[in-house]
Amino acid sequence: MTGVRIAPSILSANFAELGRDIAAVERGGADLIHVDVMDGRFVPNITIGPPVVRAIKGIATRPLDVHLMIEEPDRFVDDFVNAGAAMLSVHVEAVRHLHRTIALIKSRGVKAGAVLNPSTPVSALEEIAADLDFVLVMSVNPGFGGQTFIPHSLDKIRRVREMLDRAGSSAPIEVDGGIDAANAAKVVAAGASILVAGHAIFDTPDAEAATRALRAAVCSACGSHA
Ligand code: DX5
Ligand code: ZN
């Protein structure tokens, strides 16, 4: 579907074969590579840091969408920008001065996104809506791949879209967590246009085919959102 981007999350890829797995999803039509950075403090899991992002940048042909699930993200913005992030998102719950953090990211020439945990109200972004390059709605609690999509997220995506529209913003909404071919069209119909998927793509025998299948599933919504 026109305008919808598929962002495979490498969290569920084989970390010893990242080059192979990223090439597969790129052949399958991935638009972005979603990179989950976790610090063991903001979320109960640890993943990767700037050196690995830099290595991925060296082999990926699609822009890197770096999702920071870390405390004090301001301290690491430059490291991830220099490592090659094209999009950088921070959790509203992890920053004290969100306006400052978003401005910092944008000043480095990178798209700045704010992320809402499932329990964080849409209103947390009300005053900053017009400044955001994108909003990431978590449809699971962050920390792990392979969790189940929280159904209430659909209504939340609609309300984020309304809030952005009210602010005169056409910023896209990204959705992350439990996305698969069965719910992708609903998520798009609700107003999301960047779909992150880890388990549904990499925990399959063929990540290339799974990427294509996700895109095909989204196209069932083409009639209403082409
Ligand atoms: C969760 C991460 C997600 C995760 C999504 O904390 O932010 O990006 O990889 O994985 P799935 O699609 O398996 O829910
Ligand atoms: Zn993510």
What's the pLDDT band for 130 if we cut at 50, 70, 90?
very high
Helix and strand counts by DSSP (H, E) for the chain: 9, 8
Cβ 113 under 6 angstroms from ligand 1: no
- Confidence at residue 220, expressed as pLDDT on a 0 to 100 scale: 65
Catalytic residue among 21, 65, 176, 180: 176
Report residue 221 as tokens.
């919504």
**Using one digit for the tens of pLDDT, what is the confidence trace for 24-65?**
999 999 999 999 999 999 999 999 999 999 999 999 999 999
71-105 pLDDT, tens digit per residue, is 999 999 999 999 999 999 999 999 999 999 999 99
Question: In whole angstroms, what separates CA 32 from the centre of its chain?
Answer: 9
Ligand 2 (ion): residues with CB under 5 Å are 36, 67, 176
Instruction: Name which residue leads in pLDDT, 226 or 66.
Output: 66
The structure's pTM equals 0.97
In the structure, what pLDDT confidence band is assigned to residue 199 with cuts at 50, 70 and 90? very high
